[in-house]
Amino acid sequence: MTVPTTLNKQTFLGDGATTSFPFTFACEAVGDIVLYITDPSGNVTQVLSNQYQVILNPLIAPNVTPIGGQVVYPVVGSALGTGYKLTIIRRMSYVQLVSLANQGTLLQAVIEGALDAIVLEIQQISEVVGRNLSVGITDPQPGLLPPVANRAGLLFGFDGAGNPTAVSTAPAGVISAAMAPVVGAATIAQAQALLGIAPSSNYLPVGAEFDYPGLSAPQGFFMELGQAISRAGFPELLAFLAPVINCTVSSGSTTITLPPRPDGLAPTTGIGAGVKVEAPGIIPVNVTIASLTPSTITLSAAPTSNGSNIRIFPFGNGDGSSTYNLPDGRALAYAGMDPQNGTGRLTGAAAGGLGAAAVGAAAGEQAHVTTLGETANHAHPGSYTPISDPTHNHGTNATNVSSSGSTVYVQPSSPSDGIAINNNSFTINPASNNPAATGMAGNWGTVIAAQGGGAAHNNVQPTGVRNKIIYAGRNTF
């Protein structure tokens, strides 16, 4: 026979219904057919031989090798679903079992079958080779890879001449200069360190804050108590809490214009008056921000020379040279920053109030004594009832008023009785307008006393206490 097709495999798409798949390439035996399933994610799995059935087409004389047939899959169960692929491929053993005896009979079918097998095996090899990397027809003879011992643990790559070789890292230009040290790191820990990642802290960014119930901070964290820590020891947190800002510093000028921010907010967003500013050798020590606008800051003292950057310390600059301060979260509940008092929710206008425009600002009071000005305007309604007793009536005469020290006397018509008005009370004095007089028998007098102690009222909401901790940017101190 002839082998009329170069096919060695065919692929079919599952549709949830089809279970019979015809193939058209030559095959000598049903055991030479192998099936593979590719799932929607691209994973390839070989199908067990007992899960499918192969039926070869009948021979067509004078051919000695069947052409085509069909595969039933699955033999039992649901049809191959949508999104799956079924690949039917011929996999022959590379053996030759035909023996021609010396001066023996040469049977045409035997010789033709052996020749067919050779062609089928060549097709099989060709299919495998077709899935491998190859070079162009005009390329020079490719170089050989180094021996196994010399290429163990290395990457497959190409040398400067384009020949295949083993490399420890990708050649220059394939990976950016910034990522090359990461790719070339000897261990995952070294690569993470180069990326600024701390694996034992769950890849937290520098300066991440948490409420923490422990009595001391965990490894890699500080408690936020406003304490001073080393600049040299913790430069990552320094760069986060006290950023360096590139700007023009002019000798003798207290005003500095800050550059635009990449997030589009005003350049001075989050900066407050009174915080320390440093530029060693350029700005005198202990200089603070006296005032600011959305784009400029005004220093409390002029720079002594020109410069190109400043460092701002919202939480304090420690000793001014070797240390800086952490945030002080002691006994504070935090509010969101409000750039330039955009909402007016916290403006600091009230006594003891807090302005939320600057990071690090803190205010408020646990208890407050209400002042007269904070009391709502109101009236004291009531009526006047003449004073009487069982034996006689008390008249009133509002014009008979006299005073002695801190006591005011209102003299009614009867000269023996009077009303004493003291600083904090009204006393009705029967029998005499003398404040020291005692009451007579019967219901002769009434005292209206002042109430309230003037103490502060509690401003504390229901509150639980936790440590406030901040990630230092490294796991070992």
Q: Are 172 and 220 within one domain?
A: no
Distance from C-alpha of 241 to C-alpha of 326, rounded to nearest angstrom: 8
Of 325, 355, 380, the domain-final residue: 325
Beta carbons of 375 and 359 less than 8 angstroms apart: no
Residues 13, 114 within the same domain: yes
pLDDT one-digit tens code per residue, 295-353: 999 999 999 999 999 999 999 999 999 999 999 999 999 999 998 888 989 988 887 88
Same domain, 292 and 244: yes
- Do 246 and 315 belong to one domain? yes
**Domain annotation covers residue 187:** yes
Q: How confident is the model at residue 415 (pLDDT cuts 50, 70, 90)?
A: very low
The mean per-residue pLDDT over the stretch 46-59 comes to: 95
Structure tokens at 214: 């422990």
Is the per-residue pLDDT at 131 higher than 90?
A: no
Pair (186, 239) in one structural domain: no
* pLDDT confidence bin for 449, thresholds 50/70/90: low
Confidence category of residue 402, pLDDT binned at 50, 70, 90 = low
- Angle (CA) 102 108 113, round 5°: 100
Instruction: Clarify whether residues 175 and 219 are in a common domain.
Output: no
Number of H helices, E strands in the chain: 5, 27
Is the residue at 342 inside a domain?
Answer: no
Q: Is residue 459 assigned to a domain?
A: no
Q: Give how far Cα 172 sits from Cα of 44, 165, 175, 321, Å.
A: 35, 15, 7, 41
Judge contact between 223 and 477, C-beta under 8 A: no
Domain boundary among 310, 325, 340: 325
| Residue 90 in domain | yes
Residue 403: the pLDDT is: 52
Q: Which residue has the higher pLDDT, 312 or 172?
A: 312
- The answer to whether the pTM exceeds 0.85 is no
442 pLDDT band, cuts 50/70/90, is very low
pLDDT by residue (tens digit) across 373-388? 888 887 766 544 444 4
Q: What pLDDT sits at residue 445?
A: 42
Closest CA to 472 of 326, 313, 333: 326
Digit-coded pLDDT (tens) for 261-296: 999 999 999 999 999 999 999 999 999 999 999 999
Least confident of 230-239, 257-266, 382-391: 382-391
In a domain, 54, yes or no: yes
Mean pLDDT, range 5-11, rounded to an integer: 89
* Overall number of domains in the chain: 4
Q: Do 118 and 58 have their domain in common?
A: yes
Same domain, 159 and 230: no
pLDDT tier at 396, thresholds 50, 70, 90: very low
Does the structure show a pLDDT above 80 at 45? yes
Flag whether 387 is in a domain.
Answer: no
The dihedrals phi and psi of 255, each to the nearest 5 degrees, come to: -95, 130
Look over the chain and give the mean of its residue pLDDT values, rounded to a whole number: 83
Euclidean distance between CA atoms 202 and 184, whole angstroms: 23
Please tell me whether residues 32 and 125 are part of one structural domain: yes
Q: Give rounded-to-5 percent helix, strand, coil for the chain.
A: 15, 25, 60
Give the residue, 166 or 379, on which the prediction is more confident.
166
Residue 272, helix vs strand vs coil: coil
Tell me: do 181 and 262 sit in the same domain. no
Minimum mean pLDDT range among 51-60, 77-86, 213-222, 400-409 = 400-409
Please, are residues 156 and 170 in contact by the beta-carbon 8 Å criterion?
Answer: no
At 440, the pLDDT band (50, 70, 90 cuts) reads very low
Q: Are residues 118 and 14 in the same domain?
A: yes
What 416-421 contacts at long range (C-beta under 8 Å, 24+ apart), as own/partner pairs, is 417/387
Q: Note down the domain range covering 190.
A: 149-195
Q: Do residue 247 and residue 183 come from a single domain?
A: no
Q: 80, 14 in Cβ contact below 8 A? A: yes
> Could you tell me if residue 351 is inside a domain?
no
Q: Which of 291, 325, 359 is the last residue of a domain?
A: 325
Examine residue 330 and state whether it is found in any structural domain, yes or no: no
